[in-house]
């Protein structure tokens, strides 16, 4: 019917017009299964306020997964905000908490916001998101206080809202009483080799003569996506002698 056809056209074209998606990794090896599992945790709590923690060591791909999940579900919400590199912002700037509050408010209101104290920022955020179905992602949280100043009063969020927190410290998720925690495991051997190969050779498997060396490097990286990406990019278009030396 025309109705079905129009719906299909809209579904196909809308993502192409949407400029609110976040850039993710160029080579998303193994990403789809992580996204499916995290979205599954969210959908189990549909209709309620849902907090999901993504926990793992540095370089394990937490931010990439959080961005991909955001891209997958952000159109379902009245307002959205993805606050990236929280640890870095707070370490580099004494006014870091206020900058993060301003970013969240600007994302939600679609205008530049200025605040003059953390307490005022917290109150303003609560008023702005009150009753709204919101999606908020807090990336690389290292201190429970960072969550408190941004999303301290969970009760102000509307039903169906989702808060996603990525962290290296599982204790923060316990303090937040997060029930749904997704642990980022190291990549399997085959996935590690494929991701490394994409960065080192720009294809899914090692080129001739580099197979054993590639397996050694991939094993050395211990299944950490960031290590595989950095070493793979560094070794791109280098000789075997250079590989061995590195």
Q: What is the pLDDT of residues 83-137, one digit of tens each?
A: 999 999 999 988 999 999 999 999 999 888 888 899 999 999 999 999 999 999 9
* Four-CA torsion 28, 44, 135, 89, nearest 10 degrees: -60
Tell how strand 134-141 and strand 79-83 pair up: parallel
SS3 (DSSP) at 216: helix
Final residue of a domain: which of 183, 201, 216? 183
Whether 211 has a pLDDT exceeding 80, the answer reads yes
Final residue of a domain: which of 183, 202, 220? 183
Structural domains counted in the chain: 2
76 plus 195 within the same structural domain: no
Whether 18 has a pLDDT exceeding 70, the answer reads no
Enclosing domain of residue 198: 189-244
In the DSSP assignment, the letter for residue 75 is G
Strands (E), the chain: 50-55, 79-83, 134-141, 162-167, 180-183
54 plus 154 within the same structural domain: yes
In whole angstroms, what is the distance from residue 192 CA to residue 187 CA? Answer: 6
Q: Calculate mean pLDDT across residues 146-157.
A: 88
In whole angstroms, what is the distance from residue 11 CA to residue 120 CA? Answer: 40
145 plus 94 within the same structural domain: yes
40 plus 90 within the same structural domain: yes
For residue range 70-88, what is the model confidence (pLDDT) as tens digits?
999 999 999 999 999 999 9
Going from the C-alpha of 226 to that of each of 25, 49, 55, 191, the distances in angstroms are 11, 32, 15, 13
Tally DSSP H helices, then E strands, for the chain: 12, 5
């Amino acid at each position: 019917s025309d109705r079905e056809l129009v719906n299909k056209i809209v579904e196909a074209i809308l993502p192409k017009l949407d400029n609110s998606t976040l850039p993710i990794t160029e080579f998303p090896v193994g990403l789809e299964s992580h996204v499916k599992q995290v979205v599954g945790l969210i959908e189990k709590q549909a209709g309620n306020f849902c907090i999901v923690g993504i926990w793992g060591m540095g370089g394990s791909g937490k931010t990439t997964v959080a961005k991909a999940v955001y891209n997958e579900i952000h159109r379902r919400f009245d307002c959205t905000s993805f606050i990236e590199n929280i640890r870095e912002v707070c370490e580099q700037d004494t006014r870091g908490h206020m900058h993060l509050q301003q970013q969240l408010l600007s994302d939600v209101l679609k205008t530049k916001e200025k605040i003059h104290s953390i307490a005022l920022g917290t109150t303003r955020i609560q008023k702005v998101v009150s009753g709204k179905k919101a999606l908020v992602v807090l990336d690389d949280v290292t201190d429970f206080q960072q969550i408190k100043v941004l999303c301290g009063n969970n009760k102000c969020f509307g039903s169906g809202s989702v808060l996603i927190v990525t962290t290296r410290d599982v204790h923060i998720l316990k303090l937040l009483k997060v029930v749904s925690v997704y642990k980022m495991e190291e990549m399997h051997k085959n996935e590690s080799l494929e991701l490394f190969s994409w960065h080192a050779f720009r294809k899914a498997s090692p080129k001739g003569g580099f197979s054993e060396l590639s397996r050694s490097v991939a094993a050395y990286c211990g299944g950490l996506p960031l290590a595989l990406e950095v070493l793979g990019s560094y070794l791109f278009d280098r000789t075997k002698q250079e590989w061995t030396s590195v």
